[in-house]
Amino acid sequence: MRPLSPLERISGMLPQDTLSPEVMQLREQDQQDFEDGTNTQKTAAEEDPDHKTVPKKDDTKTHHEIDAVEEPNIPEIQSFSEHQMVSQSLPGENFLVFGEFLVAEYRRQGQVEFRKMFRLQTGMRLNSQWGLIMHDDIAGQPAGCFLKTNIGVSLLIRRASLEDYVLFMKRMPAIVYPKDAVTMFMMMDVMEGDCVLESGSGSGAMSLFLSRAVGSKGRVLSLDIREDHHKRAVWNYNHWRTAWSLRRGEEWPDNVQFVHADLSTASSLLVGQGFHSVALDLPSPHLVLHTMTPHLHPGAVCAVYLANITQVTDLLEGLRCLQLPLLCESIIEVPIRNWLVAPALRKDGSYCIRQAPILAEAQRQEDETSENTDTEETAAEEQPAFGSVPYIARPHPEQKSHSAFLVKLRKYVK
């Protein structure tokens, strides 16, 4: 069955004797086009013994929603054949296996219209407004492949990075966004083998970033005053470690110790410990400075993540009153501006071509070569040479708003 066109839907509800000859002719033409397309598909399937058809399942979407779906513009690979790209794997490459976290994406005209993270499981299916794909059909495929849904839309299936995971994982409080986490790492100068103190485990985003940064030789002590936040952070951390071991065939370092405790009253927990850096994500960080500062190495940095400027002033006022050996070096926020960059197109969809300035000698020869000009322009439009297509660049209309202020405190020796 094929979806009915608007003409067929309307004309089907009217008596046959009321339809004009033009409408009847259009209906017959549509039916003939459909039969020709069906015969072509059957012939292709008979000629190709390796041709596989995807069984169609019942879909609850209306026909006009299906008609609106457009195929993404997937560039053809000319340097390698399809057989080479699929059958030959690179050293260290692993195919997708059950238990991994994956991301499905659909792009149209260069824009991401659908993105979803999911865990690959036996017998499950990936559902979206663009159709569904069985998880069993995804397992064993190479990462970064395009697979068609049951309605014929191609989705990009790739592995979830740690950035994807912390953005899509189940959370309770707001997370430290990757752009801010990277800047905090630069402030703290975190490296492999460091011992880091974190207060405010939250959903576990910063704990995961710190775990990867310090490596198997390092250690992270993460505290949270709320039990539900503590449990969520542990749950997210363990699920990522399990998926990673399936993906890479090796264990993610078990180097984070989660503790349900209040840092302001946890002096006994920190006895005998020293930290190369400290990360604080608390509503009132000035209340824990007196507990944290004695265990921070001289010259080391405490990076503080604060949501609003009022918290920043409270922190500075706490530093002034407590007279702790902490120097406020910087207070920043990290904006990100997305851009749209794409080739310039004409209204008919063809590429625009850069026009070179016409020299005097070339202008005199223009009349003699006018007949060949149209042919050359047509060939250039079909396959423009490198550097001949102009590009348009503008800021993306949807920009990320403010996330947090980052305060850098450095311990000094009095």
pLDDT tens-digit readout, 156-200: 999 999 999 999 999 988 899 999 999 999 999 999 999 999 999
DSSP state of 410: E
Residue 378's pLDDT band, with cuts at 50, 70 and 90, is very low
Identify the weakest region by mean pLDDT among 24-33, 41-50, 112-121: 41-50
Amino acid 59: pLDDT: 40
The pLDDT of residue 407 is above 90: yes
The pLDDT of residue 85 is above 80: no
* Maximum Cα–Cα distance across the chain: 100
Amino acid 397: pLDDT: 64
**What is the overall mean pLDDT for the chain?**
80
Residue 349's pLDDT band, with cuts at 50, 70 and 90, is confident
- Write phi, then psi, for 286 (nearest 5 degrees): -65, -15
Amino acid 395: pLDDT: 72
CB 387 within 8 A of CB 307: no
Residue 170, both tokens: 């189940």
Mention every residue, 6+ apart, whose C-beta is less than 8 A from residue 381.
Answer: 350, 351, 353
Identify the weakest region by mean pLDDT among 48-52, 124-128, 365-369: 48-52
Residue 52's pLDDT band, with cuts at 50, 70 and 90, is very low
Q: Is the dihedral of CA 265, 269, 275, 277 positive or negative?
A: negative
The pLDDT of residue 283 is above 90: yes
The pLDDT of residue 138 is above 60: yes
**How far is 235 from 151, CA to CA, in rounded Å?**
36
Ranges 65-74, 167-176, 367-376, most confident: 167-176
Burial classification of residue 369, based on how many CB atoms lie within 10 Å of its CB (0-12 exposed, 13-18 middle, 19 or more buried): exposed
Mean pLDDT along residues 319-341: 91
Strand extents, DSSP E, 74-176: 101-108, 111-119, 125-128, 131-134, 145-148, 154-159
* H/E segment holding residue 331: strand 326-332
The pLDDT of residue 396 is above 70: no
Tell me which of 277 and 361 has the higher pLDDT: 277
**How far is 248 from 93, CA to CA, in rounded Å?**
9
Residue 257, both tokens: 């110790």
Nearest to 234 by CA among 259, 212, 251, 217: 259
Tell me which of 174 and 39 has the higher pLDDT: 174
* H/E segment holding residue 24: helix 21-47
* DSSP percent split of the chain into helix, strand, coil, nearest 5: 35, 25, 40
Mean pLDDT along residues 253-281: 95
Amino acid 331: pLDDT: 95
